[in-house]
Amino acid sequence: MTHPLEQALANVGSMTEAGTLPIIVLDLDSTLFDTAPRNLRILREFALSNHHKPDIAAVVDTMSLADMGWNVTGALKKAGVDDDELLAALKKFWAQRFFTDEYLAFDEPSPGAVSYCHELWNAGALLYYLTGRHIGGMELGTLRNLVRHNFPWGSGRTVMHLKPSFHQSDEEFKQDAIRAIESLGGQVAAAFENEPANCNLLHAAFPNAASYFLDTVHSPRPDRPHEAALWLKDFRR
């Protein structure tokens, strides 16, 4: 059986042959990038800043990247911390850092993601990096991430599309993004997402594209990926 990752490449090949621009839509957080190092870093800084509460430092000290889930308060709760005041303080501390250029520097590419993106690009695809990270705080860090880890960037056929403001709703942003993708005049060959609701939204907009669901971490929303979604853990074959 061929690996699911071959489907996107096959679509790119046939579209290129037919003279159509193949577009690959790529989410960043928990799709192309693993955000666990960013979360663990923030958690460790929080523990350091609460040195008057040695219990927290001791708990955080036992935690690893594998303990980082969708959010850090959940991870800490799971590790046995039930001090609501402290968890609320962590939530605030986390939000002040997680959505910043500076802390994006800790993200690591998902295994296999860089070389797979090069394969798609070399086959003629336009890579459309689509992320809910916002302009006015995260665009430089996002660009640095792409460049630092050698993702295709800056040689033509790449787009980086961020949310125009932190406060725009995700729903409105995704609808705007779909219109922007359509305006390119090509055809979406594949889309990669870790949020089931976004995976389904892209599938509804581009039903002929290969639709990938990255089974990493996602929000507690109850959505399930649609039936035809191709499931991946990362980009290794």
Which residues are at the interface with Mg ion (CB under 5 A)? 27, 29-31, 194
Name the residue nearer to Mg ion (CB basis): 15 or 229: 229
Minimum distance of Mg ion from residue 25's CB (angstroms): 12
Closest CA to 230 of 209, 27, 117: 209
Name the residue nearer to Mg ion (CB basis): 38 or 123: 38
End-to-end CA distance of the chain: 12
Name the residue nearer to Mg ion (CB basis): 29 or 34: 29
Q: Which residue is nearest to Mg ion (CB)?
A: 29
Residue 56: HSE in the Cβ half-sphere, 13 Å Cα cutoff:
23
- How far apart CA 49 and CA 43 sit, in angstroms, is 10
Specify the amino acid at residue 204: A
Name the residue nearer to Mg ion (CB basis): 194 or 211: 194
Contact yes or no for 98/109 (Cβ under 8 A): no
Name the residue nearer to Mg ion (CB basis): 15 or 163: 163
Helices (runs of H) and strands (runs of E) counted in the chain: 10, 8
The first and second tokens of residue 135, run together, are 């302009």
Cβ neighbourhood burial of 110 (10 Å; 0-12, 13-18, 19+): buried
The first and second tokens of residue 233, run together, are 């853990």
Minimum distance of Mg ion from residue 179's CB (angstroms): 20
Minimum distance of Mg ion from residue 124's CB (angstroms): 25
- φ, ψ for residue 22, nearest 5 deg: -85, 135
Specify the amino acid at residue 102: E
Minimum distance of Mg ion from residue 117's CB (angstroms): 16
Name the residue nearer to Mg ion (CB basis): 11 or 194: 194
Minimum distance of Mg ion from residue 195's CB (angstroms): 6
Minimum distance of Mg ion from residue 131's CB (angstroms): 7
